[in-house]
Amino acid sequence: MKKKSGFGLMEVMVAAVVLAFLIVGLNILQKGNRESVLRVRARDAANIVAQHILDSLSSVGLNSLVEHTVNGDKIVFPEPGEDGKFTYYFDGKPQLDKSPGSGYMKSKVEYTVQVKLLDEAPDDVRSAIDSTDFTRANRVSSQVIEDREKNTFAKGLEATISWGFKSSTQSITMAKVVR
C-alpha cells in the first residue's frame, strides 16, 4: 500500500468543529468578563457617588439639614420636587485608539440617591445632656431628662444608591455621622 501524506477531509472537518467550539467558548468567557468589569466599575462609582453626597451634606453642617418625611422615613436628600438622579460616565479601555469602531468603550450609569436620617433613641450617644444645677433642681423627677436639656451634636445619615444592571436593580448603602 502506498503511504498517504497530508490530512483527510474528515480530519479537517473535525478540527474545524473543535476550533469553532473553542471560539464560541472564548467569546462567552470574554462577554462574562466584560459584564463583571462593568458591574465592578458601577459599584465603585456608586461608592464615589455616596461618599460625594454624604460629604456634601456633612459640609453644610448639622443644623442646615432639612428633614422631609416620605413614606414614614426622614429623608434629607433629595428634596421634594428633585429626582435624586446622578449620571456617571465611564471611559475606557487601556488602548490609545479611541476612534469610532475601534472597540473603545464609553458607557454611562444612572444612579438614584436617597439619604435618610437615622432614628435616634432617647438615650442615644449622639445626644449630649446639658445638665446644670438649675435644670436638675427644676426637674419633675430626678430620672426624667427633658428635651430642652438635650443638645444634639451629631446625626447619622444613611445613603442608599441604586442603579440598574441588566434586568435587575443593584444597590449599596453607606452611613456617615454628621457633626
Quote the cell numbers at residue 9: 477531509
Mind listing the pLDDT tens digit for each residue in 98-136?
555 555 556 788 999 999 888 654 444 445 566 667 666
Quote the cell numbers at residue 130: 446639658
Any idea where the domains of the chain sit in the sequence?
A: 9-178
pLDDT of residue 93: 59
Enumerate residue ranges in the chain where pLDDT < 70: 1, 92-106, 119-132, 134-153
pLDDT of residue 75: 83
| Exposed e or buried b per residue across 65-85, where buried means at least 16 C-beta atoms within 10 angstroms of its C-beta | beeeeeeeeebbbbeeeeebe
pLDDT of residue 121: 47
Can you list the pairs that 61-67 forms with residues at least 24 positions away whose Cβ atoms lie under 8 Å? 61/178, 62/152, 62/153, 62/154, 62/155, 62/178, 62/179, 65/117, 65/155, 65/157, 65/178, 67/117
